[in-house]
């Protein structure tokens, strides 16, 4: 037991009228929404990296957090795990996520690094057995160390490709051992800074082969979870290959992986790609590859991935609307890939950031459920497309250009414009959020 969160109570649901900062107002894990417990809908996960490993740096300044577990020893890694499980106990969320580099110190060799990881996996496993949350997903950090500065799977140096593949093997082993429900690949530096020194065709080909190797290994070890790719358009690389959901889907098709890999979609990355979060979710759902979400938000004034905790109810509601409409999460969940502001130094700040985020997601999901149950939005959508339910419309699709030509000419058709009714629908949404 550390004393990091000393004096901070376990957070309970007290209802919207509560004046207690350390309480949930909207997140009652046992509340039944659309026939299912709220906890089972939302499947919250804490991210080890931002909450326990991120030191609070920005491009102009270094660490602000100075946590007592910062440093590269196994003892400190165990202290970090102890603190993590203390926060898990305070929040009571059902899942967490981690990269290898978040939980273990690097060793002097690959073998020592792997041993450190295995030891920490055992340590974390014991804590999970003692009643801690489960593992939503594991992943490999293939972007922080300088050896990955020109990419991991897309590095011009084949040894970096092999080193990355070996690292992913150890991380998939760790994820399997801890009963993880998914394995995530975010292409940290899988992209380029300049085309002048880049063999784009080779890099994309190697990235495709790398992902095939991940899928082959998944089947070999009998990992039953989902393999998820997390799209992001730029940052840290100027241009990243996994730009957005649609781009990644084309990539999966090219390498025959569209039935093997789903998406982990992050709100901030959707914004960076010039989309809304709900666009990316709807796109993935329509392609049958919606897996899991990283729930954060970007600052609309800064142009980078600021990874702030979510606090905008309408945005969150529209995101969960797409998720519920698609049938909800299967193996996925809501991972808070979100960090504090660097001035938020206190342990209480870390707790309250998560309390607020969990509450806003609960509010958003409940609003989304009401919107679905009310049905007006879907009715309006159906009405807009009802022409497509007719035999005449099916004949347009079957008839080719000439069939359409004949139809238009023979019937002297001159279609009129119809209102999209956007304001009416926006007003409708605002009744629920
Ligand atoms: C960075 C990504 C990262 C992934 C996991 O922008 O969001 O945190 O989720 O590697
Ligand atoms: Ni991100
Ligand atoms: Ni993420």
Indicate the top mutation candidate among 96, 294, 295 to test ligand 1's pocket, ranked by most ligand atoms within 8 A of CB.
Answer: 294
For 272-315, how does the pLDDT look when each residue is reduced to its tens digit (9 = 90+)?
999 999 999 999 999 999 999 999 988 878 777 789 999 999 99
90 C-alpha to center of ligand 1: Å?
24
Q: CA nearest 41: which of 94, 90, 97? A: 94
Q: Report the SS3 class of residue 226.
A: strand
Instruction: Please give all residues whose CB falls under 5 A of ion ligand 3, grouped by chain where several chains appear.
Output: 266, 294, 337
Dump pLDDT digits (tens) for 16-36: 999 999 999 999 999 999 999
Two structure tokens written together for 197: 């020194």
CA of 221 to the centre of ligand 1 (A): 25
Instruction: For residue 144, give both structure tokens.
Output: 């922080």
pLDDT band of residue 332 (cuts 50, 70, 90) is very high
Residue nearest to atom 2 of ligand 1 (CA): 186
Q: How many angstroms separate the alpha carbon of residue 52 from the centre of ligand 1?
A: 15
pLDDT at 305: 79
Q: Closest-lying ligand to the alpha carbon of 294?
A: 3
Nearest-CA residue for atom 8 of ligand 1: 337
pLDDT at 80 over 80: yes
Residues 186, 230 contacting (CB under 8 angstroms): yes
The residue whose CB lies within 8 Å of the most ligand 1 atoms, and thus the one to mutate among 236, 280, 337, is 337
Give residue 59's pLDDT: 87
The protein residue with its alpha carbon nearest to ligand 1, atom 4, reads 186
Active centre residues (catalytic)? 99, 102
pLDDT band at 374 (very low <50, low <70, confident <90, very high): very high
- Ligand 1: which atom is nearest the Cα of residue 97? 5
- Whether the pTM exceeds 0.95: the reply is yes
DSSP state of 197: G
Q: Report how far ligand 2's centroid is from the alpha carbon of 337 (Å).
A: 7
Residue 351 has pLDDT above 90, yes or no: yes
- Average model confidence (pLDDT) for the chain? 97
pLDDT in tens, 132-183: 999 999 999 999 999 999 999 999 999 999 999 999 999 999 999 999 999 9
Give me the pLDDT at residue 386, please. 97
- Between the CA of 266 and the centroid of ligand 1 the distance, in Å, is 8
Q: Give the closest residue to 166 by CA, choosing from 201, 214, 124, 212.
A: 214
The residue whose C-alpha atom lies closest to atom 10 belonging to ligand 1 is 186
* Dist CA 203 CA 354 (whole Å): 38
Pocket of ligand 1 (CB under 6 A): 99, 139, 184, 186, 230, 232, 266, 294, 305, 337
Contact 188, 179 (CB under 8 A): no
């Amino acid at each position: 037991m550390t004393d990091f969160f000393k004096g901070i109570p376990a957070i309970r649901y007290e209802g919207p009228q509560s004046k207690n900062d350390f309480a949930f107002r909207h997140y009652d894990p046992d509340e039944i929404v659309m026939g299912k417990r709220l906890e089972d809908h939302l499947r919250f996960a804490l991210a080890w990296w931002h909450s326990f490993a991120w030191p609070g740096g920005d491009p102009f300044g270094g660490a602000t957090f100075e946590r007592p577990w910062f440093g590269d020893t196994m003892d400190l890694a165990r202290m970090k795990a102890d603190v993590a499980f203390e926060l898990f106990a305070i929040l009571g969320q059902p899942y967490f996520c981690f990269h290898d580099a978040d939980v273990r110190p690097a060793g002097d060799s690959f073998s020592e690094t792997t041993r450190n990881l295995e030891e920490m996996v055992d340590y974390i496993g014991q804590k999970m057995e003692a009643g801690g949350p489960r593992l939503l997903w594991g992943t490999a950090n293939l972007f922080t160390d300088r050896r990955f500065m020109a990419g991991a799977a897309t590095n011009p140096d084949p040894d970096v490709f092999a080193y990355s593949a070996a690292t992913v093997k150890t991380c998939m082993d760790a994820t399997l051992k801890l009963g993880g429900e998914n394995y995530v690949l975010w292409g940290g530096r899988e992209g380029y800074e300049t085309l002048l020194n880049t063999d784009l065709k080779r890099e994309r080909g190697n990235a495709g082969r790398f992902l095939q190797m991940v899928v082959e290994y998944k089947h070999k070890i009998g990992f039953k979870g989902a393999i998820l790719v997390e799209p992001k358009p730029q940052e840290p690389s100027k241009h990243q290959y996994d730009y957005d959901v649609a781009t990644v889907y084309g990539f999966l098709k090219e390498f025959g992986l569209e039935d093997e890999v789903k998406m982990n979609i992050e709100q901030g990355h959707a914004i960076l790609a010039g989309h809304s979060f709900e666009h990316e979710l709807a796109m993935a759902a329509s392609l049958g590859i919606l897996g899991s979400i990283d729930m954060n938000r970007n600052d609309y004034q800064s142009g980078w991935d600021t990874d702030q905790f979510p606090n905008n109810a309408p945005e969150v509601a529209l995101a969960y609307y797409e998720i519920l409409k698609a049938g909800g999460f299967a193996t996925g969940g809501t991972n808070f890939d979100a960090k504090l502001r660097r001035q938020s130094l206190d342990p209480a700040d870390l707790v309250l950031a998560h309390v607020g985020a969990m509450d806003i997601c609960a509010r958003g999901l409940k609003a989304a459920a009401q919107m679905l149950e009310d049905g007006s939005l879907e009715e309006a959508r159906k009405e807009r497309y009802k022409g497509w339910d007719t035999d005449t419309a099916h004949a347009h699709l079957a008839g080719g250009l000439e069939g359409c030509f004949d139809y238009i000419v023979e019937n002297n058709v001159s279609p009129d414009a119809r209102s999209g009714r956007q304001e009416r629908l926006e007003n409708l949404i605002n009744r629920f959020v």
